[in-house]
Amino acid sequence: MHIRRLLLLAIFCGAVLLAGCGRDLAREGVPDDVAAPPPDAVRTASGLASTVLQPGTGTRHPRPNSRVLVHYTGWTTDGREFDSSVARGEPIAFGLNEVIPGWTEGVQMMVEAERRRFWIPEHLAYKGAPGAPAGMLVFDIELIRIEM
């Protein structure tokens, strides 16, 4: 009986220690600034904010109807990842006139090989559409190639 109590106490203490010192797996890979753009973020008149994570090597910028190849990850401001071409291991190609307005505006600011983080206000995102993530969204986008 005494050994059983000691074993239960050891299991309880181990669980408390693991809970207190372990990694926060729910937030692993989530940017530290996902809740709001930092003070040094570039802001446009529309409310789009961005920071360059990796400068590009290209000189051309896509146009509003350009077709581009990108890798991206998207989060809500509470850190929930809702979509990622990176996680799927496959970049995606699309026309900039086929996506949310925040992407159309933001990706035009980029050059090839650039990685940039965008904070896209709801009015430039899904505008409260049913089934879509709501509120401001955060995207890390890598512009791999401008196809046309």
Read off the CATH number of the domain in which 79 is found.
Answer: 3.10.50.40
Rounded distance between C-alpha atoms, residue 37 and residue 130, angstroms: 25
Within a domain: residue 22? no
Instruction: Single out the catalytic residue among 120, 139, 140, 146.
Output: 139
Q: CB burial class (10 A; 0-12, 13-18, 19+) of residue 22?
A: exposed
Examine the residue annotation and report whether 100 is marked as an active-site residue of this protein: yes
**Catalytic residue at 141?**
no
Of the candidates 92, 94, 100, 144, the residue annotated as catalytic is: 100
Q: What percent of the chain has pLDDT over 70?
A: 81
Distance CA 108, CA 60 (A): 9
| 10-63 residue pLDDT tens | 333 333 333 343 333 345 689 999 999 999 999 999 999 999 999 999 999 999
Mean pLDDT of 59-79: 97
**Model's pTM, two decimal places?**
0.80
Q: Is 140 within a domain?
A: yes
83 is catalytic: yes
Distances in whole angstroms, Cα of residue 125 to Cα of each of 31, 77, 118, 142: 19, 13, 11, 18
Within-domain flag for 24: no
Percent of the chain exceeding pLDDT 90 equals 76
Residues 100-110: pLDDT tens digits? Answer: 999 999 999 99
pLDDT tier, 7 (very low <50, low <70, confident <90, very high otherwise): very low
- Name the active-site residue from 33, 72, 92, 140: 72
37 lies in a domain? yes
DSSP lists the bridge partners of residue 81 as 75
What is the structure's pLDDT at 128? 86
Domain that holds residue 40: 29-146
Identified catalytic residue from 33, 126, 144, 146: 126
Q: Exactly one of 11, 12, 33, 82 is catalytic; which is it?
A: 82
User: Would you call 82 a catalytic residue per the annotation?
Assistant: yes
Nearest to 140 by CA among 85, 88, 97, 63: 85
